Structure 1
Amino acid sequence: MNTALVQLKLRERQLQDELEQVWASMDSLLEAHEVCGPITPTLVINTLKLMMLEGYGDWLVTPVERTGDVLVTSAEALKVASMETGICQHLLRGMLSRAQHLPVLACRNGKLILRVEG
């Protein structure tokens, strides 16, 4: 296993632990806003990444499939995330074209694509 993948797995576990702590006492994302601050596009994108890494989540409308070094699911997840958080879908799509922390999430041909290996 290459070091980038090991680091990704460690970061994934850390993010999962942080999210579990937040969600353990929250009933909704709006309550999380009161405790953690505003819901940002970056938070939404990172949550989508985590859902894809985990292979499930409330915003995912199709299964996550692994193809080589990428995870793929329907871009409809952006629409669902937008409706759930109140952040404009176009803003979320725009965030995908900006520099991101690894792993990188992209939207092409109606699919969300998460590159999981460097």
Structure 2
Amino acid sequence: MTDMTLISFILALSLLLFLAAGLWVSLALIGVGVIGLYMTGNEQIGLLFASSSWGASTSWSLTALPMFIWMGELLFRTKLSEDLFKGLAPWLSGLPGKLLHVKDRK
């Protein structure tokens, strides 16, 4: 077996062991990443994780998340979504299913 094949088997086995031990998936993946970096001879594990974490958390694609959460809170707190469903219900009464799949069941 080549080195990469052996490393792959060890990493797959370590992932299964971490998950079987009840470790969270995110921590298990971080652990497998650390083991993989150590086995391939990369000594700058901390620097790699710091730079990749910083790069992922400062991407522009994450800027829309707070706005969507805020928009949902506004719709929920002002009862605007409830009024929207009440207004759409008569228009969609002729369609099969109507608003049943999105309506809150209380």
Normalised TM-score (structure 1): 0.27
Structure possessing the higher relative contact order (Cα contacts under 8 Å, 6 or more residues apart): 1
Q: Which has the larger radius of gyration?
A: 2
